[in-house]
Amino acid sequence: MLNDNRLTEIDNVPDEQIFKLLKTNNSEMWQYVFMRVVEPICHGTTKNGIPYQKILSDKLLESEDVWGELYYEMMGRNKLDLYNHSGSLVRWMRYYVINFILGFCKKNPNHESDECLDQLYISRTDIHDIAEVNETSFAELWRESPMRAYVFLLKSQESYSSEEIKDCLGLTSSNNVDQYYRRAKQDLKDFIKKNSGDAQ
């Protein structure tokens, strides 16, 4: 892998040039992606302090597995061409890392991970006009609409803009994101009311 000096050098390379080199399958640039895109997510935590590494280890995944999936998405499925060159390439690619982790957990549930995922997805602080999002309510939203759950998570927990979420999830417009988010909030209100025993 790249040493610290080389990483710093590439950090100063314009995104457009990095993009072009990635398109040529430049091995050094893909190592850079591993070290600047994949590892910071896989060895970092959410804003709630939950380690992504805990989620990955429960699913028997390692950083290299996520790197491979990112490479497949970017090159094998040509997702790299969706980059619009208007923001940080590194940050844009990190969306796909988070999306892969969440998607893999959804497709491969187990009891141990479910407990950790509850913590990953849930904020115990006020989120706009939702006083509290509890584990049961979010689980219901997740089962009913993973897309609304994704949007809610990325917007409220990770502070992504509607435009960034649109690019990450392949939606047609930022208005679609806002609609998913409004619907998610309303669903969560309904689930919270039902689960708290207030529903008639």
- pLDDT for 2-32, tens place per residue? 999 999 999 999 999 999 999 999 999 999 9
By the 8 A CB rule, do 52 and 46 touch? yes
Task: Determine the Cα angle at 20 with ends 2 and 85, to 5°.
Answer: 105
By the 8 A CB rule, do 137 and 111 touch? no
The mean-pLDDT minimum among 109-113, 120-124, 144-148, 170-174 falls in 120-124
Section 52-67 average pLDDT: 79
Closest of 118, 97, 113 to residue 168, by C-alpha = 97
Q: How far apart are CA 65 and CA 176, in angstroms?
A: 31
Closest of 24, 90, 95, 100 to residue 68, by C-alpha = 100
Where do you find CATH 1.10.10 in the chain?
A: 122-200
If you average pLDDT over every residue of the chain, what do you get?
Answer: 77
Fold of 122-200: Arc Repressor Mutant, subunit A (1.10.10)
Tokens of 131: 């006083």
- Of residues 136 and 5, more confidently modeled: 5
Residue 156: pLDDT band with limits 50, 70, 90: confident
pTM: 0.59
pLDDT at 95 over 70: yes
What's the pLDDT score for residue 13? 96
The mean-pLDDT minimum among 130-134, 154-158, 164-168, 189-193 falls in 130-134
